[in-house]
Structure formats: structure tokens, C-alpha cells
Amino acid sequence: MIRILLLIALVFSAAALHAENWANWRGPLHNGASPEKGLPGKFSKTEGVKWATTLPGSSAATPVIWGDLVFLTAAETKTNKQIALCLDRRTGKELWRAEISDFATDGQYSNTCSPSPVTDGKIVVFFFGTGDLVGFEVSGKKLWARNLGPFAFQWTFSATPLLHDGRLIMPILQRDVAVRGRGKPTGNESYLLAMEPRTGQDVWRSLRPSEAVAESREAYSTPLPFTHNGRQELIIVGGDCITGHEPASGRELWRWGTWNPTKIGHWRLVPSPTVGGGVILACGPKNAPVYAVKTGGSGTIPTKSLAWQSHVQPTEDAAEAAPSINERDLTADVPTPLFYEGKFYILNGTKKKLYCVNPADGAVVWSGDMGGKSVFQASPTAADGKIYVMNFDADVSVIQAGGTAFKQLHSVNLRDEGDDTRHRSSVAISQGNLFIRTGTKLFCVGK
């Protein structure tokens, strides 16, 4: 009996060692990956579903999970309110909710509830495209609220904040003039804002200049925390360039740009940066290349000093370009790349094609057609040797990570009647479960 009890204890201890929180939209490592094991490879609307909770409204936000708490947002159509929600991870039962303000939509299937929450297990912060930024204790007690708007964006602003090393970081990369009645007529600044998480009070505000024009000044990306040889950085992408900043002050440490030498005016930037294997990926929009910036840079970095780029644009001088792998479909207009077990996984959402790429030289290990009838705008996530991603129609694909060839392990449709056709939430991974958000439900899937 003692041996049996010891064996049971060891099993539960091993499971606990693999349990990870998913505290921000890109997971515990800020790259879309988790070290968790024992995750499902096959499931359906009923098979492998631990619970499925009906949500009060839609959102592109990714759920975040800490321990037994799940945090997410919703645009409640009955009341026209944007909602902050907390669910019980074990049962899906709603623990608390808070009405923030009226939500808005831009008519392109987006709403102001699209940014994801962020938590450190003590507080949870929700940001909405209306400019509302609200901090709560994880128990639901409201700590503070403020509004950072108005913003000068063509579409609904949806950058997700970063909670890191005792600071709450919010990027505001916007136009310098008003657009569609949004923002101040002139003088709108692009900047990084650091706040004290428990009070919402400013710690520092650092301007982030750009030579981009019109919509190309706009970015929807999230800051990436990174440490290189003991130097801490915040990596920011948008405004036709990528920059590294000192976390204590926001001071710019280095900059590379541009993927837009002819200053096209409609190249808003959506994907966040991803780091791995000694390089930082910046994905140019609208079929522009993927660029790999070497870590540890300082000052202004010339393009020819980059590690590689996926292809040379027709307008670019080849003599000034980085080494190119000449893979024109290796581009990511919306999905943020994944870094997992030594490889980048870059999703061309428009052509529904996934690439496995070596970080050092950009060489393509394999590529594969994801199938389905609709495009992908959700970003891929991974754990336990599997990659998870969902398309607009709520087809969830499971791809085998690594190897020498593309292998799709499973595909299932989780869409319900009444769902919209633009599912954009990434699959969150925590505590041995997958958390998959559709238009009307949050599914908790696990063995």
C-alpha cells in the first residue's frame, strides 16, 4: 500500500512539474511555446472536452491562465458593454465579471475587446481598444482604471500590454494626424508607456519616433522582453522598423528599418516580434519579407548586417539587402511566428501555408498546406511536440512539430451556429489543457 501511495504521489508530482501558467497571449516564454507535456492530439466538440462555457460575446483576445483562474474579454451584444471575465479553470464556471464601458466595432469583424488580458497571478490587467485600461486583483477587486485615448488609428486599436519585471508596458504606435475622426487633429505621438501595475501610475514615458507615413505608422504588436548577455531589452516592432529599449527608462538601444523603403502608406503592422536561436524576427506586412535581426545590436543597424531575409523585394537594392533565401511565400501579414524547440514556425495565413525554419540562416526545413477554406489570422502555439492553430472558420489544426516533413495530425471544426466567420484567438496551453475560444464558447480540452 505504501508503494502504491508513493507511486501515485510521484505521478501527481511529475504532472505538477509540467504544469505551466499562460500569463500573456504568447505564453510563459513570450514566443508561443510551453514546456508542458501530455497534451491532446485529437479531440472534437465532445471528445476530450472537459468543459465548454458559453461566453457573453465575441472577441479575438486569447485567454490567459494562472493556476485555477482563466481571464478573458467579451463584447456583450445584449448590453453593448465590453466585459472582463474570470472563469474557474477546473469547471468553466464564471467567478466574476466587470462591465468596463461600451464597446465599438470598425465594421471589419473586429471589436474593441480584441486585446488579451495579462496577469502575474496577483493582479490582472485588461486593455480595450477604446483606450480603457483597468487593473484588478485576481479575486475581482478593482484597483484602478484610466483611459489612454484618443488614438489615431484607421482600424480598431488592439495592442496587448506587457506585464514584466514589476512594470506594465503599453505601446502606442499611431498616426501623427487624426484619421476617420480618431485622435487629435495633429501632434499625435508614438510612445512607450511604463506604469506601476498596482496603481496604474506612470513610471516613464518614452517617445518612439518613426519615418513611416500614414497608416504605416500604426502597429498592433506587443512588446517582447528579452535578455542578451545580461542586457535586458524591450523589443518593439512597428512604424516600418524594429527597436530595442532599456526597460528601466524606455531609452532606445538599437534600431533596424526599413522594410518599406518607398514609404508605402497603408502598411500597418500586426505581428509581434519573436526571438530565438540568436535572432529576432520582424515580419513586414502585405507580402513583405520576414527579417532576422541578430541579437546584441546597438545603434543603427544596416540592412546588410541582418542575419537573413526571406526574399528580396523588387524595390530593394540587392547590394544592400541581407542574405536572402528567395522564398517569396515565407511572409506573415497577421500571425506572429512561433519559436519552439530550436525552430521558427512562420504561418502565411493568406495562403494557409506553415513553414518550419532554421533560425541561423532562414533555411526552410519543411512547409505544408494547412488546408481548409478560410485564412488564418490566429498565431500558432506549441507544446508536447504539437503545434495548434485555428483559422477563421474555427478549424483547429494539430501539426507535428520538428521532423523533416510537414505532418498534420488532426483537424476539427469547433464552430457553432451563430458564430461569426472570423475566429482569431490563439490556442492557450496551461495545466495540461488547451483553451480554445470560438465565437460563442471557450473550450477546455485535455486528456
CATH code assigned at 157? 2.130.10.10
For residue 8, pLDDT over 80 is answered with no
Instruction: Look up residue 438 and give its three cell numbers.
Output: 470560438
Question: Which of 40-49, 212-221, 323-332, 411-420 is least confident?
Answer: 411-420
Query: Is 12 among the domain residues?
Result: no
Average pLDDT rounded to a whole number, residues 382-408: 97
Query: Is 35 among the domain residues?
Result: yes
Query: Is 125 among the domain residues?
Result: yes
Looking at residue 417, its pLDDT comes to 81
Average pLDDT rounded to a whole number, residues 57-78: 95
d(CA 113, CA 198): 22
pLDDT bracket for residue 9 (50, 70, 90): very low
Query: Is 9 among the domain residues?
Result: no
Query: Is 10 among the domain residues?
Result: no
pLDDT tens string 81-114: 999 999 999 999 999 999 999 998 876 667 899 9
d(CA 266, CA 350): 18
pLDDT tens string 12-53: 444 444 589 999 999 999 999 999 999 999 999 999 999 999
Give how many domains the chain has, as a whole number: 1
For residue 151, pLDDT over 60 is answered with yes
pLDDT tens string 393-403: 999 999 999 99
pTM above 0.75, yes or no: yes
d(CA 60, CA 58): 7
Domain region containing 142:
23-446
Query: HEC string of the chain?
Result: CHHHHHHHHHHHHHHHHHCCCECCCCCCCCCCECCCCCCCCCCCCCCCEEEEEECCEECCCCCEEECCEEEEEEEECCCCEEEEEEEECCCCCEEEEEEEEECCECCCCCECCCCCCEECCCEEEEECCCCEEEEEECCCCEEEEEECCCCCCCCCCCCCCEEECCEEEEEECCCCEEECCEEEEECCCCEEEEECCCCCCEEEEEECCCCCCHHHHCECCCCEEEEECCEEEEEEEECCEEEEECCCCCCEEEEECCCCCCCCCCCCECCCCEEECCEEEEECCCCCCEEEEECCCCEECCHHHCCEECCCCCCCCHHHCCCECCCCCCCCCCCCCEEECCEEEEEECCCCEEEEECCCCCCEEEEEECCCCCCCCCCCEEECCEEEEECCCCEEEEEECCCCCCCEEEEEECCCCCCCCCCCCCCEEECCEEEEECCCEEEEEEC
Query: Is 6 among the domain residues?
Result: no
Query: Is 8 among the domain residues?
Result: no
Query: Is 4 among the domain residues?
Result: no
Looking at residue 217, its pLDDT comes to 98
Looking at residue 1, its pLDDT comes to 53
pLDDT tens string 282-320: 999 999 999 999 999 999 999 999 999 999 877 777 667
